[in-house]
């Protein structure tokens, strides 16, 4: 990553871009050897290396799918690490980041989590707010994955059409119950967990910062930006909001499936009102995500008393922003304006850091 950050410079006649890619290739080969050998799978350094490679590919090689080809390997390593990783500070931190990447991919693809992932949360205190967020996302992944099986017809090979319809109804109720539960507990959050409003006109432009790149800031039309206490909070709430977008669109699809498969279940006006309610909710969620991008990309307000983020902090924020922006960009009910901003943010990251 250090070489990639110096991609515009040379080491003698050798571009640092070439050095970065060579070290990346060597790291991949080293990890492959470790996985093949199987003796160091529970070592924190192995999982940390996998997560670094994932972030390198996301920031510098333009891959937007969480974990990409490393999904199975990361799941295998987490399994090999066992329950001991939950009782060690470093091990638990690595597990959380890795599990978020697993969930992000499953949410984007609408895949159900593995039984082992569900079992992990049975051992954790989900009254802890960050773990409550992760638990919600895992539940959303379970529901959207199950809904995809039904609406795509995959479940018909296993159940009768009557059983399929009953499962669809149960899923719709479970999705609505989860959304109500999320609304209840997030509304009761203390101010510490909530963002403050900022004026976007006060964002520092690049010529006023220490950045070497002068790529224009992505277009921002919202009247206010959102700023959390730190980028981890911004990332966690965006992770939660993006997953809700997928859940709400999945809920609309399962209700539409019920209405189509069993005429008379919903009348046309009722369906239109239902879809409009989901569109409104998705717009609100995507607005929350879009309004956090200045903070996550490392832009600061002119009058802020906070220290300007260090390069590592900027890179972390930009990496954290990718999943939610990808969800907004492809969401069915997101406005074109939000889609455009999300696309510009993703392109800005690629243009600012890409090695291509």
Its pTM stands at 0.89
DSSP 334: S
Tokens coding 127: 């009254």
Top-confidence residue, 221 or 273? 273
Q: How many CB atoms lie within 10 A of CB 258?
A: 18
Is a pLDDT exceeding 80 seen at residue 33? yes
Q: What tens digit of pLDDT does each residue of 86-132 get?
A: 999 999 999 999 999 999 999 999 999 999 999 999 889 988 999 99
pLDDT reported for residue 299: 76
Q: Using an 8 Å Cβ cutoff, are 9 and 34 in contact?
A: no
Q: What pLDDT is attached to residue 203? A: 66
Angle at 339 between CA 335 and CA 345, to 5 degrees: 145
Please tell me whether residue 15 adopts helix, strand or coil conformation.
Answer: strand
pLDDT tens track for 276-313: 999 999 999 999 999 998 889 887 655 555 555 566 67
- What local confidence, expressed as pLDDT, does residue 206 receive? 47
pLDDT of residue 336 exceeding 90, the answer is yes
Q: Tell me, what's the pLDDT at 320? A: 93
Q: Reply yes or no on whether the pLDDT at 217 is more than 50.
A: yes
Instruction: Give yes or no for residue 157 having a pLDDT over 60.
Output: no
| Per-domain residue ranges of the chain | 1-109, 125-356
Q: List, for residues 324-335, the tens digit of each pLDDT value.
A: 999 999 999 999
DSSP 249-263: HHHHHHHHHHHHHST
For residue 204, what are its two tokens?
Answer: 């520092």
Residues 6+ apart with CB under 8 A from 305: none
Please tell me the least confidently modeled range out of 1-5, 13-17, 146-150, 253-257: 1-5
Dihedral class, residue 67 (left if φ above 0, else alpha if ψ from -120 to 50, else beta): left
**Cβ proximity of 12 and 346 under 8 Å:** no
Lowest pLDDT segment from 178-182, 215-219, 231-235: 215-219
Res 268 pLDDT > 90:
no
- Angle (nearest 5°) at CA 263 between 257 and 269: 85
More confident residue, 244 or 15: 244
Distance CA 170, CA 86 (A): 33
Mean per-residue pLDDT for 55-81?
91
Q: Which residues contact 30 (CB under 8 A, 6 or more apart)?
A: 49
pLDDT at residue number 38: 81
User: How large a percentage of the chain has pLDDT more than 90?
Assistant: 56
68: left (phi over 0), alpha (psi -120 to 50) or beta: left
């Amino acid at each position: 990553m250090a070489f990639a950050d110096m991609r515009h410079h040379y080491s003698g006649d050798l571009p640092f871009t070439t050095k970065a890619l060579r070290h990346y290739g060597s790291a991949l080969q080293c990890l492959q050897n470790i996985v093949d050998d199987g003796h160091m799978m529970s070592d924190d350094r192995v999982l940390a290396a996998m997560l670094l490679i994932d972030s390198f590919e996301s920031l510098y090689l333009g891959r937007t799918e969480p974990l990409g080809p490393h999904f199975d390997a990361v799941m295998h390593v987490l399994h090999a690490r066992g329950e001991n990783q939950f009782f060690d500070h470093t091990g638990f931190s690595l597990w959380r980041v890795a599990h978020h990447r697993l969930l992000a991919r499953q949410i984007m693809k609408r895949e159900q989590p593995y039984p082992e992932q569900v079992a992990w949360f049975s051992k954790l205190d989900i009254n802890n707010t960050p773990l409550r967020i992760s638990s919600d996302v895992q539940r959303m992944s379970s529901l959207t994955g199950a809904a995809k099986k039904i609406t795509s017809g995959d479940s018909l090979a296993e159940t009768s059409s009557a059983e399929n319809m009953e499962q669809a109804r149960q899923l719709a109720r479970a999705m609505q119950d989860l959304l109500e539960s999320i609304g209840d507990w997030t509304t009761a959050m203390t101010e510490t967990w909530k963002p403050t409003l900022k004026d976007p006109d006060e964002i520092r432009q690049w010529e006023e910062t220490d950045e070497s790149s002068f790529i224009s800031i992505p277009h921002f039309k919202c009247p206010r930006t959102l700023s959390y206490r730190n980028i981890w909070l911004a990332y966690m709430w965006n992770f939660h909001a993006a997953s809700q977008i997928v859940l709400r669109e999945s809920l609309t699809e399962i209700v539409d499936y019920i209405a189509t498969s069993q005429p008379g279940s919903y009348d046309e006006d009722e369906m239109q009102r239902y879809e409009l309610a989901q569109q409104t909710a998705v717009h609100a969620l995507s607005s929350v995500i879009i309004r956090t991008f200045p903070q996550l990309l490392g832009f600061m307000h002119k009058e802020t008393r906070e220290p300007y983020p260090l390069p590592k902090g900027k890179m972390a924020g930009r990496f954290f922003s990718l999943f939610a922006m990808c969800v907004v960009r492809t969401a069915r009910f997101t406005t074109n304006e939000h889609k455009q901003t999300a696309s510009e943010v993703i392109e800005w990251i690629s243009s600012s850091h890409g090695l291509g």
